[in-house]
Structure 1
């Protein structure tokens, strides 16, 4: 069974919501989704960075 990996745009949105949302529930949900899919915010950021490097060369 393959693991679902969310689109980069969605991961970026979750990270932005964690950092900038004034709604506590929104931040909590976004962090929960990051943790469920990547295990930590740091790993989600690494995922984005690696995918951006692959696209640029």
Structure 2
């Protein structure tokens, strides 16, 4: 069974929702999606950094 990894552009959008002066609902949604898919904002950022390298295997999961 393969692990779903959201597209980097979607992860960037979630992080922007958390970081910008979004509505509380939008900010909560971004945080929830990051938590569900990565467990933390730090791991989502690492995923984005690694997604730029074609030679890096990125494993996401808990």
User: Taking structure 1 as the reference length, what is the TM-score of the superposition?
Assistant: 0.86
Q: Show the counterpart of 1:35.
A: 35
The secondary structure found in structure 2 opposite 1:4 is coil
The unaligned stretches of length 5 or more in structure 2 are 55-62
RMSD value over aligned CA atoms?
1.1
User: Taking structure 2 as the reference length, what is the TM-score of the superposition?
Assistant: 0.80
Q: Show the counterpart of 1:11.
A: 11
Counterpart CA distance in 1 for 2:23 and 2:3 is 30
Structure with the largest fraction of helix = 1
